[in-house]
Amino acid sequence: MYGKPALGTVMPLAGLTAAPEVLPGIPFARGLQEAAGAGFLLYCAIAAALLSAKFWFVLRSFGDR
């Protein structure tokens, strides 16, 4: 305890030092993460387009009153 360093400081995450392609499921998880990121960006783009169209129609109809 006093003379020895903690195990985590000597070998931090020793099991995760292997190449990611060696671990099963990592390429699949990476593909899912990329697809989720692309879907989120698509969602944000559609939401921004709908909000801007709504504000455009509100401002356009505001002048008709």
Is 54 inside a domain boundary? yes
Hey, what's the torsion of the CAs at 27, 33, 38, 43, to 10 degrees?
A: 150
pTM for this prediction? 0.55
State the pLDDT at residue 51.
Answer: 97
- Determine, yes or no, domain membership for 42: yes
47 within some domain: yes
pLDDT, tens only, 31-50: 999 999 999 999 999 999 99
Domain that holds residue 42: 25-65
Helices (H), 11-64: 26-62
Q: Which pair of tokens denotes residue 6?
A: 């903690």
For the chain, the domain total comes to: 1
